[in-house]
């Protein structure tokens, strides 16, 4: 049956600046894809990320180039051969999963052999600020089971200690976003243990993480920027205990599922993460959350306005979107972003 593919740029203002060691952002810029086949509409979203050399314009151009292939009936496997891993392929892969489930009268979870998305403890991210401001955010989320602390190289001890004091019962992920050096790992090791840090995420630049093979921190350490696809796993063995699987890096749910299984087979613990995005970008990732040791899918909570039927948060428990929002179900909803 004849298909049509449409892609657009959506920009979502944030409720507060999202500051990490690399810089700050005040909007989430995404590409939104719809694939229409008869009465059914599949939707997907990807986040072009400058750190990986992606732009919205280039992602839209890649989607325009791939559109005739999909309109001609190509499936997700053919898409993976036509587009490299990244935001454009993620958006189109998600739209094809959604379309397939709706056309089959089923759900993506059922088609993929996964449990349906359920409420899950997802990290509440605390962006870089002065320690007092970070502590205030932590105090507002004192009942959340998991907090993620963004830090830099200038004041990580004060930042971490402020959050820990304000939220003594929470599990903590500390994320320097590649801003530390080897000396920081050594100098901060005892401090991280004393602060009961549960996971240290990508402390070193991706191209300079070989030191972890001989000097791994005492706390578990997770690869984020160092991991994109299955091809990276062998290099990460012996350096990291966990890997952060993100659909935008892997190139969609199809590739992320294979990556997660391969990582587990090699003995890595799983983290499922995201970029700052809307609920449309999070819905596919939620299907991976049930098997993860750490879940970090609070991207939509940073938006000033999300889809009204999207994810919710209850004291650090992320609740899935409404039935029919994405991935099949009773409604082909979707017309797209409200407003």
Catalytic annotation, residues: 150, 246
The terminus-to-terminus CA distance of the chain in angstroms comes to 31
Distance of CA 80 to CAs 70, 86, 191, 277, Å?
Answer: 11, 10, 43, 22
Three-class SS state of 327: coil
Q: What is the DSSP string of 40-77?
A: EEEEEEE---GGGT--HHHHHHHHHHHHHHHHTT--HH
Cβ contact 100:332 at 8 Å:
no
| CA distance linking residue 73 with residue 66, whole number of Å | 11
Enumerate the β-bridge partners of residue 32.
Answer: 8, 45
| CA distance linking residue 117 with residue 119, whole number of Å | 7
Joined together, the tokens standing for residue 149 give 């602390």
Joined together, the tokens standing for residue 17 give 């600046």
| CA distance linking residue 233 with residue 219, whole number of Å | 20
| CA distance linking residue 26 with residue 18, whole number of Å | 6
Enumerate the β-bridge partners of residue 33.
Answer: 7, 44
| CA distance linking residue 249 with residue 49, whole number of Å | 9
| CA distance linking residue 97 with residue 86, whole number of Å | 17
């Amino acid at each position: 049956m004849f298909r049509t593919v449409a892609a657009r740029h959506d920009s979502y203002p944030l409720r507060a600046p999202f500051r990490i060691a690399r810089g700050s952002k005040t909007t989430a810029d995404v590409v939104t894809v719809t694939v229409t086949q008869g009465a059914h509409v599949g939707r997907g979203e990807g986040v072009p990320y400058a750190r990986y050399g992606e732009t919205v314009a280039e992602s839209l151009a890649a989607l325009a180039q791939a559109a005739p292939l999909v309109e001609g009936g190509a499936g997700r496997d053919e898409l993976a051969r036509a587009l490299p891993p990244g935001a454009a392929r993620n958006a189109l892969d998600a739209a094809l999963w959604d379309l397939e489930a709706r056309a089959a009268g089923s759900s993506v979870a059922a088609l993929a052999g996964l449990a349906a998305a359920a409420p899950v403890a997802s990290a509440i991210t605390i962006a870089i600020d002065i320690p007092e401001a970070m502590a205030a955010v932590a105090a507002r989320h004192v009942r959340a089971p998991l907090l993620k602390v963004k830090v830099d190289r200038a004041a990580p001890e004060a930042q971490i200690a402020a959050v820990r004091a304000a939220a003594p019962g929470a599990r903590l992920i500390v994320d320097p976003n590649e801003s530390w050096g080897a000396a920081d790992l050594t100098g901060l090791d005892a401090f991280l243990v004393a602060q009961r840090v549960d996971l240290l995420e990508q402390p070193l630049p991706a191209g300079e993480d070989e030191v972890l093979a001989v000097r791994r921190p005492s706390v578990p350490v997770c690869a984020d920027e160092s991991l994109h696809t299955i091809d990276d796993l062998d290099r990460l063995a012996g350096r990291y205990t966990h890997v952060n699987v993100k659909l935008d890096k892997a190139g969609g749910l199809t590739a992320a599922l294979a990556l997660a299984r391969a990582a587990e087979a090699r003995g890595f613990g799983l983290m499922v993460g995201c970029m700052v995005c809307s609920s449309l970008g999070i819905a596919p990732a939620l299907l991976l959350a049930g098997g993860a040791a750490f879940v970090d899918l609070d991207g939509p909570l940073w938006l000033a306005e999300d889809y009204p039927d999207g994810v919710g948060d209850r004291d650090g428990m992320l609740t899935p979107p409404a039935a029919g929002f994405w991935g099949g179900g009773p409604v082909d909803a979707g017309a797209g972003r409200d407003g």
